[in-house]
């Protein structure tokens, strides 16, 4: 069990601290999923959850601009419930993003359900809820950063041993390169690094 799940379990014994006592909204069930690259799959994030509308984002966690999240928030109405895989899916600049998002939505009569952490929010948030959510969001963000650090260290070690990293050049398409450039605001060179191919290869693919 990771730290985030452990904390969620600890506070789960006191239902009033993790969910409000108001009636669960009976409106539309809306899902939001996000992955970091264009070739990652989103279908596992809310597997088994029946939603009326799904918003799918393929953008890095470090990118502030998230058009699908903005569209999702604009779509939600009072009585709806927003389903999100985990807290780190909505943390852009810090853990406070999750608290701000949930507080805004519950204030509008929208329920929020984080499935990985098993947390449900309906109605106005209490001080205890904000505190618990802030802690869990911080832990989720820390775990994400640790995973990224380990991945970077592992790739560096592999390169030092002469192991080829990245995808075969002939599997990368022009559309994938353009997708990364558009969603993350990157140059061709940076997009090539993101996709694990060389700069020259990326330019060759872009020229067709």
Q: Predicted confidence band at 131 (pLDDT cuts at 50, 70, 90)?
A: confident
Domains 3-140 and 169-207 equal at CATH topology level: no
Domain regions of the chain by residue span: 3-140, 169-207
pLDDT digits (tens, 9 = 90+) for 147-182: 667 767 676 676 676 665 555 555 778 888 888 888
Q: Is residue 93 annotated as part of the catalytic site, yes or no?
A: no
Q: What is the 3-state secondary structure (H, E, C) of the chain?
A: CCHHHHHHHHHHCCHHHHCCCCCCCCCCEEEEEEECCCCCCCCCCCCCCCCCEEEEEECCCCCCCCHHHHHHHHHCCCCCEEEECCHHHCCCCCCHHHHHHHHHHHHCCCEEEECCCCEEECCCCCHHHHHHHHHHHHHHHHHHHHHHHHHHHHHHHHHHCCCCCCCCHHHCCHHHHHHHHHHHCCCHHHHHHHHCCCHHHHHHHHHC
Max mean pLDDT among 54-63, 70-79, 129-138 falls in 70-79
Structure confidence at residue 164 (pLDDT): 56
Whether domain 169-207 has CATH 1.10.3470: no
The sign of the torsion formed by the CA atoms of 136, 141, 145, 151 equals positive
Homologous superfamily (CATH) of 3-140 is Resolvase, N-terminal catalytic domain (3.40.50.1390)
Q: Could you read off the pLDDT of 80-111 as tens digits, one per residue? A: 999 998 888 787 666 678 888 999 999 999 99
Q: How far apart are CA 116 and CA 98, in angstroms?
A: 14
- In this predicted model, which residue has the larger pLDDT, 14 or 123? 123
pLDDT at 14: 39
Round to whole Å and give the CA distance between 76 and 28: 8
Tell me which of 13-22, 74-83, 131-140, 163-172 is least confident.
13-22
Tell me the average pLDDT across 20-32.
Answer: 72
User: Which of the residues 8, 20, 36, 93 is marked catalytic?
Assistant: 36
């Amino acid at each position: 069990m990771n730290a985030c799940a452990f904390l969620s379990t600890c506070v789960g014994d006191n239902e009033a601290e993790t969910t409000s006592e108001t009636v669960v909204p009976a409106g539309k069930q809306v899902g939001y999923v996000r992955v970091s690259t264009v070739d990652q799959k989103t279908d596992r994030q809310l597997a088994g959850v029946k939603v009326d509308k799904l918003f799918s984002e393929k953008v890095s966690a470090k990118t502030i601009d998230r058009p699908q999240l903005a569209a999702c928030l604009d779509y939600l109405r009072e009585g709806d419930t927003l389903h999100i895989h985990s807290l780190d899916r909505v943390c852009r600049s810090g853990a406070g993003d999750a608290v701000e998002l949930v507080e805004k939505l519950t204030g509008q009569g929208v329920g929020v359900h984080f499935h990985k952490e098993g947390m449900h929010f309906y109605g106005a948030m209490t001080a205890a809820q904000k505190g618990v959510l802030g802690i869990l969001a911080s832990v989720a963000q820390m775990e994400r950063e640790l995973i990224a650090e380990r991945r970077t260290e592992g790739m560096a070690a592999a390169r030092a041993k002469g192991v080829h990293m990245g995808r075969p050049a002939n599997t990368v398409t022009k559309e994938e390169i353009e997708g990364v450039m558009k969603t993350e605001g990157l140059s061709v060179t940076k997009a090539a690094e993101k996709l694990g191919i060389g700069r020259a290869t990326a330019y060759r693919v872009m020229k067709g």
